[in-house]
Every structure is written in structure tokens, then in C-alpha cells.
Amino acid sequence: MISPLASASPVIRLSRTDNVGVARADIAPGQGLSEADVTARQAIPRGHKVALADIARGDAVLKYGQPIGVASAPVRAGEHVHLHNVAMHDGLRRGDCGSLPPPGPAPGAAERRTFSGYLRPDGRVGTRNYIAIISSVNCSATVARNIAERFARDGGLHGRAYIDGVVPLTHGGGCAINTQGEGYRLLTRTLQGYARNPNVGGVLMLGLGCETNQIQRIVEEYGLKEGPALRTLTIQNAGGTRKSIEAGCEAIAEMLDEVDGCRRSVQPLSHIRVGLQCGGSDGYSGISANPALGCAMDLLVAQGGTAVLSETPEIYGAEHLLTRRAVSPEVANKLLQRIDWWLDYTARNGAEMNNNPSHGNKEGGLTTILEKSLGAVAKGGSTALRAVYEYAERIDASGLVFMDTPGYDPVSVTGQVAGGCNLICFTTGRGSVSGFKPAPCIKIATNSQMYQHMSEDMDIDCGTIITGQQSVQGAGAEIFERIVAVASGEKTRSEVYDYGDNEFVPWQLGAIT
């Protein structure tokens, strides 16, 4: 790799072998590109690609030193390279396995960092202290929301400075599903995972009563124990909507002393588990915010923390960059097996993996899933891949791990939080306004224009990497310090505006009957 900041060139060339560059800003026709004596033949929007050499039809288009597609038509140096002249075929993918050299030594005791977190009875540590109302079925969603709204409206948390809020976790499923099927297992695993997330100090599990997804079965199957901080309630047994709202408020009121009694204490950073996300990506994502977040994750992993890379369709085509780093052939093969599952899943549903780049991704300059994936993998940093988990499985390994999730951000984050993530880092080039209660979410902008335009929603500007004001490593150190601060209680932008009640979206699989 070469430094994209080595000059003030209008384009960023990420590898000496690349035959395309990325426009730092809008490029006008006739503008010199300071790369290989190339002149722009047409307008190139910022974040989009321009050919730095002639590319024959069928030849690979190279970015990051890797193929991101093939030319579907002859491309002349200086021309815009995008959907109109780039195609993808599966032969470009690579899946070779291998491993990294052993990781370097862990930092010594004097270098160890700490944060201020909530220690839970099971030994895990939260970055927040919420009470969660977990609905078993869509039929209990209205009551769950009303309990939370009434509690907030009537000042139920007045004087409870150590409780971050009461959050209703509602969804659109829970009935008309096969209890022996994969969809049911995913849903129940997700619900119990939220009940056990270290950011949750108290839980009210709320059902209708007659649904397929029975609360008592979840409690028994996953070993949840009812007590002062975990209560269950069904609407039919309580006597209807009004009585259920009253009973729910009463149940939460009875757990306030215990939840509010928990205090932050000094904890090692090894207790931080960060879910890594990128949404609304653009042509800068893999150049600025994603690699900077990867540097931050290397710093966190060195402290014994955990970085959780996900969104399986968005590492498709870049999986070799992870399998090479797997600690064992078993870990590498498990990742490849999940990708094979996705190839079969998309084929059965009349889709293809290259459908993944969204409208906004393409508007931002991303052309194929290979290009998006190569940039997305950078979020994970450079350390060894230590484990691969299925959706919403409990994460019990430290270091860089992978969780199989869809690329759709709310569904993906839901799986990560169910697995135990207590903080989310979300890179975006087009903009995002999501929050993910009970986990705080740090929003990281890939470009300064969007950061300034949506400054009320963004936490960190990595566009400074594109302009040359900051290095990737410098931005990574800034992200790392923000993670420590947010984990210790500093509010993110989404928390300032109290966003995040609507992003609980369990992955739905299987027939609804």
C-alpha cells in the first residue's frame, strides 16, 4: 500500500498496482490528475473512481491492490469508472485460508487502560444501565411502548441518576412460526441475549399469552431466573391493555432501587465489546473511516477488548483477508461455510450477493460488492481472527471475532447486541440517524462535507484523512479515546437526542404460517 496522502493529487491511489483512483473532490473535464500524466475526460464526482490507465474489456479493475470487478467495456485513462462500465463475476473471488504470525505481546500492566463501567453479577460489564421491556410477540408491542412512555411521561425515573432509561424492545414477529425452525431459534436467542446484555440492569419480559413464542419456554430453555431485576407479564393474564400497563409500571417501579443501586466502577478495557458497522457507505469509506476504525480496534484488542465484525454479505469477495488471519483452519472454514450459506440463501430467494450495494452506496461511488467488501473489512483492523459466531450467539472470545449477520444495519446490530456488545461504532459516508439502545453508538463520518451537513448526528469526522489533515493512525487513536470516554458515560450524539427506540430488529427467517 502507498499513502493516499503523499501528495495533493486530485485523486487517491491506494496501491501502486491500482488502475483506478478515487476523486478527493469533484473533478472537471480536462483537469489534470497528477497520476500517470492522466487528464480527466469527463466530470468525476467526489468519491467516485477514475481510470488511471487504459483498461481493456474483460480486464480486472483494481482498487486496494485487489480486483473489484471487470471492465464491461473498454475504458480509457481519465474516464469515469462505475456501474456503466464495470461488471462482476464470481471468478474474481478468493477464499484461500492461512494464518497470521502470532500476535505481538500484550501491553504490560503499566500500559493497561481502564474505563468506568457497571459490573454485573455474571462478571460482565456494561457501559450503560437500562431497564428493558422485551416483547415476546408483536401483539404485546403496543403495551410495551405505552409502559415505557407512561413511565417517562410521569417522571418515574426522577431522582434515579444512575438509570439511563426504560427502553421498549418491540418487533414484528413472535407467532405463526415453527418452534423447531431456524427462525424461532434466532428470535429466542436474540431476546434472551438482550435480557443478558451487560447494558441492561433490569428486564420486564412482556407477552400476550397465547403466542407461539412463549416467555416461560425462553426463561427455562436459556436459564433465565426471575427475581427483583427480571419480571415476566402476559396481557391476557393481567386482564387487558390498561391493567397490563399498570402492572408493567408497577413491576418496573419495584426494580428501580436495585437497578439504580448499581454504580460505575473502574474496569479494564477487556470488558468492552464493540460491534462494528458501516452503513450508507461511499467511495471514501474504505479509505478514511473504516481503516481508522480498524486502527482503533487494534488498540482495543491490545488491551484485551473485543471487536465484532459482522454483515456477512459485505465481506463477500474479501473473505480471504480474514481467513488468512484465522487462528485455526476451523475458524477459517466456519467463516467460509457461512458465506456458502448466504450464496444458497440468496439464490433460493431470487437474489444475488452483488445486489448488496444500495442506491446510496452507488451514488457515493461504490460499484460492486467486492469494492464495498474490501473497504468494509478494514473496520476489523489487522489482528488475528479468533472466532466466528452465528447470529446472536453469546460472544465469549476476546480479540477480533466475526458474527454472521445480514448487511441490513438494524438487523446486524441487533445480533451484535444480543451477543453481548456494549458499544457500537458506525461508519457512514452518506449519513445515518440510528441509535441502538441499550448500546451507545458512535457515528464516524467518512467525509467532512457530510459531517458538517449532518453535524447533529455525527460524532467524529474522518474526512480529515482525505484532506491530509490527519493520518489514519491519528484518526484511529481519536476513535479509541472516544470509545473509552463513551464507555465511561460520555453521551453520543444519538443519545443527546434520545434516539434508538426503534432499531431493535431481530432477523426473521422461515415461513410465517
Range 404-415 average pLDDT: 97
> What are 449-480's pLDDT values in tens digits?
999 999 999 999 999 999 989 999 999 999 99
**Candidate CATH numbers 3.90.120.10, 2.30.130.110, 3.40.50.300, 3.20.20.140; the one for domain 1-87:** 2.30.130.110
Query: Taking the domain 130-261, which CATH number applies?
Result: 3.40.50
- Grid cell digits, residue 500: 434508538
Residue 14 pLDDT:
83
Residue 36 pLDDT:
63
Range 145-150 average pLDDT: 96
Instruction: Write out the H or E segment, with its range, that includes residue 226.
Output: none
Residue 99 pLDDT:
46
**What is the C-alpha to C-alpha distance for residues 67 and 88, in angstroms, rounded to an integer?**
10
- Domain residues of the chain, as ranges? 1-87, 130-261, 266-496
> What are 420-445's pLDDT values in tens digits?
999 999 999 999 999 999 999 999 99
pLDDT at 353 > cutoff 80: no
**What is the C-alpha to C-alpha distance for residues 285 and 283, in angstroms, rounded to an integer?**
6
Q: Tell me the DSSP string of 423-482.
A: EEEEEESS-----BTTB-EEEEESSHHHHHHTTTT-SEE-HHHHHTSS-HHHHHHHHHHH
**What is the C-alpha to C-alpha distance for residues 439 and 399, in angstroms, rounded to an integer?**
19
Residue 95 pLDDT:
46
Range 263-269 average pLDDT: 98
User: Would you tell me the crossing angle of helices 472-487 and 289-302 to the nearest 10 degrees?
Assistant: 60
Q: Tell me the DSSP string of 162-209.
A: T--EEEEE--S-SSSS-TTSHHHHHHHHHHHHHHH-TTEEEEEEEE-S
- Grid cell digits, residue 248: 408493567
Residue 93 pLDDT:
55
> What are 217-248's pLDDT values in tens digits?
999 999 999 999 999 999 999 999 999 999 99
Mean pLDDT over each residue of the chain, to the nearest integer? 91
Model confidence at 289, in pLDDT bands (50, 70, 90)? very high
pLDDT at 329 > cutoff 80: yes
> What are 38-92's pLDDT values in tens digits?
999 999 999 899 999 999 999 999 988 888 889 999 999 999 999 999 997 655 5
pLDDT at 2 > cutoff 60: no
CA 379, 114, 269, 413 torsion-angle sign: negative
> How much of the chain exceeds pLDDT 90, in percent?
78
pLDDT at 188 > cutoff 60: yes
> Cis ω on the peptide bond leading into residue 168 (within 30° of 0)?
no
Residue 4 pLDDT:
44
